Structure 1
Amino acid sequence: MKPSSLKYLVGQGVRNIWTNRIMSFASFCVLLVSILLVGFTVLVTMNINRFVNGIENKNEVIIFLVDDVSDETIENMGNLLRNTQNVSSVVFYSKEEAFEDMKKNYENADELFGYFDESPLPDAYKIKVSDISEMKMTIATIEVQSAAMNAVYHIKSPDEFANLLTSLKSILTLITTAILVALSVVSMVIISNATKASVFARSREINIMKYVGATDTFIRVPFFVEGMLTGVVAGGIASVVTWFVYEKVIEILSQEMTLWNALGISEFIPYSSIWWKVSLSYIVIGGLFGAVGSSASTKKYLKV
């Protein structure tokens, strides 16, 4: 196709938006709502995953060491833990620190613990794992590898809570995927019907063009351009609406930050850190849906 012909067809597509403004506006509204539904579902899911990961990162495994363990054994145990797969953090927790922390929980600590010359608690290591679903396997590995040292007295781990979080993440992933697929299918059906209605309104125009010898490409390109531009504009408007609504919702929810902190939620995802990803995704998805929907809907009327 010659550049001059392509320029003409693109111009026709742009003019068609205004010429058929009622149907173009209907397609725009459908695309806008569809993009917003999918977008907000993804944003909610991202925040839920952030919350779950935040709770997951606060879970610690405490490895209590036997009494009178040597400094060399303590150091060797620390090296073993740091070299263990799936262990992301290793912190030595001395018996003196543990004793002081325990005293802070009692108002009359001096009376209760004053007769202790030294800490009655054992030394310990606090570790965190990268993948909480592998916690049980990681603990089993530590038990086997440290057996020769005879240094481990007891390992305290939140196994049940780890299993709960793992199940929760799996369920959330499944539900989110199902919702996104359902929304995408429904959106595509609605977009397709709206586009077909727009194309049907110009079926006579398409038939006349076919009778005078216009090629399928010559007919489809203006519809392609029209649909793509409508989708791009819908994506751009959707990104502005998302920014405004998301910021307002986060502002309202942040007023109860004490409650969220108690649930292990430190902060919501700031829109400023993801705005360009959201905007780009909206524009690309809108343009793609609009272009494909418009050009595909002309197929029926090209058969003359």
Structure 2
Amino acid sequence: MVLGELVKCASGTFKGLPYRITHIMPGVIGGYGNPKSIQLSTSVDNRLDVSYLSILLRGEDLRPKSFPWRVSVNSVNITREFKPQALVSLEGVVYALQVFDVSRIVKEAGKYLLKLSAETSKTIEVLSVSLVGVEQSQYAEIVMDYYSGVLTLKKGEEYTFVHPREGLELGVEIVAEVPSRTSEVVIACGEEAVISQLIGVSEISLKRFQASQEFKCSVSLSKSNTPKPLVLSDLLVYRPLTPAPQVSLEASLISNKEIRVLVKNEGSSRLSKALIVALSEGKTLSRNELRDLNIGETIEVKL
């Protein structure tokens, strides 16, 4: 039986591009020998139209108001109470999620410091912290739905959601806890994608996905060698209304003095006049101008 739910937090048409950054398993707080707080730093390059902060936790006792709890961004208090919007008990542990509309606080470009604090004798695992929103741009427009919560799917169970009716190819982004590396997560819209070789809390990102004629998508756990379920916490689905480039970066360390970066244009138009700038403590280390990239094209850059 499917447990929990995902609640729609934001929906509409926005001028800009989807923005999401997720800290996976950033730390443990509370309990013997663990810190009482953790701090996470996030940088925003461009002004955000809307922004939401979601926090996924796991512990033995996560009842509302059962312990002092504080969330702040740049020393501005978001909450002083533990009042999760979603709670699911599963095999002796509890999953809890809090989501906040931080559009008035996290909007300008810059650096943001998030602090989570708890006064409790019980250990709390912070599984993921996500900042989700729309990065403003005069050249792009999207239709977007953002869901957050806690929802569990055992093998063979399915979660269905409606995707936007207008726009170009779909983008689907999910934060989920995958039960084992042999598990297969199937995301089906107009086409089907099988995700495997993941374990634990992971990000799943699909871009340029074909939309279905029924305007519906589904997520299911089709294969797993463990009775543990798939746990969904964040779901972002969007469709661009205007063709626009979208860049993904994959960096790896070649040596102590050299980094290899794979740059891919995952958008729906040609990428032109792009730069890669490497910074260290605010100082520019290198500046590379990229050649134009066609849709789906990848190049390698060494910094």
Structures share a fold, TM > 0.5? no
Q: With structure 2 as the length reference, what TM-score do the two structures score?
A: 0.24
Bigger helix fraction = 1
Q: With structure 1 as the length reference, what TM-score do the two structures score?
A: 0.24
Whichever of the two has the greater Rg, that structure is: 1
Bigger strand fraction = 2
